[in-house]
A and B are shown apart, each in its own frame.
Chain A
Amino acid sequence: MSRRDALQRAVHVAGLLAACGLRPALAANNSRAAFDALSVDAALRALGAGSIPEESGAVTLTAPDIAENGAVVPIGVASELAGIRSLVILVEKNPSILCAVFHTSDAVLARIATRIKMDQSSAVYAVALMHDNKAFFARKEVQVSVGGCGE
């Protein structure tokens, strides 16, 4: 079985399990597989997104228009939606598309700031994964002047 086959099966199984409502137990284990996903959609499915992600003004993505240095790109994700279980950052054209997953709780606001690496100019996605497995996203194109050394 090739690596690609294995990955596709892993994603498929994750999708099936998510459909069966087994997602909470998966949250920790399977998110490692999500980091190997080869597309934004596959990564989100591996994280348990149960439906087609929907673009939403209720998710805010803060990112520079132009990042001089791809090794350090400041990213902010925030949302006022109720019922968020995770905030996810993805970079479409990075070698590793899934960048970070933050599992929020009632004790924190759904508002995260961090810094990521970008290999080249790309769309960046901020996704709010809900407790009912819906996914809402914001998207922004970021121009990268110098790619982030090997990422």
Chain B
Amino acid sequence: MTKPTRIRAQSNGAVATVSVQMAHAMESGRRKSATGQLVPAWYIQQVTATLNGQVVLSAQWGTAVAQNPYLQFVVRGAKAGDKIGIDWTDNHGITRSDEATVL
């Protein structure tokens, strides 16, 4: 089970600043567990951000994005009531989609 992505989008009328925190272990595949075994790589590879369903930003990530990834970006023309969506896909093919309303 994946946990919800926290999305906060605040508009000043002209642009909206969107802050996102995804819940993900982001294992690099190089870390050793307490028993000395390598923990397999498990990380988000693809992120897509939408405004009212239209893609405005996409990202490809490697293993060096920090655990529970934080992302902030600024969307032009997003007003209160608009919908910001965040979708991610990890290297296991697990996906998650969340949506928030611009404040």
Contacts and interface: CB of A to CB of B under 8 A. Distances in A.
A and B: real partners? yes
Interface of A: 28, 31-32, 35, 71-73, 91, 94-96, 98-109, 111-118, 148-151
Contacts of B29: 150
B31 A100 contact: no
Q: Which 3 A-B pairs have CB atoms at the shortest separation, nearest pair first? A: A150-B31, A150-B30, A107-B56
A148 B63 CA distance: 11
A110 to B, nearest CB: 9
B75 interface: yes
Given A112-B73, A114-B72, A105 B55 contact: yes
B52 to A, nearest CB: 10
Main secondary structure, interface of A, reads mixed
B51 interface: yes
Nearest to A31: B60
A151 to B, nearest CB: 4
B68 to A, nearest CB: 9
Contact of B28 (A107, A115, A151): A151
B57 A96 contact: no
Main secondary structure, interface of B, reads strand
A108 B75 CA distance: 4
A96 B28 contact: yes
Highest count of chain A CB atoms <10 Å: which of B29, B30, B55, B76: B30
Given A105-B55, A108-B49, A151-B30, 7 more contacts: A35-B60, A72-B67, A96-B64, A113-B72, A114-B70, A116-B66, A117-B28
Highest count of chain A CB atoms <10 Å: which of B49, B59, B75: B59
A107 B62 contact: no
B47 to A, nearest CB: 9
A112 B65 contact: no
Contacts of A72: 66-67
A71 B67 contact: yes
Contacts of B59: 100-103
Given A32-B60, A107-B77, A115 B65 contact: yes
Given A107-B75, A149-B31, A94 B70 contact: no
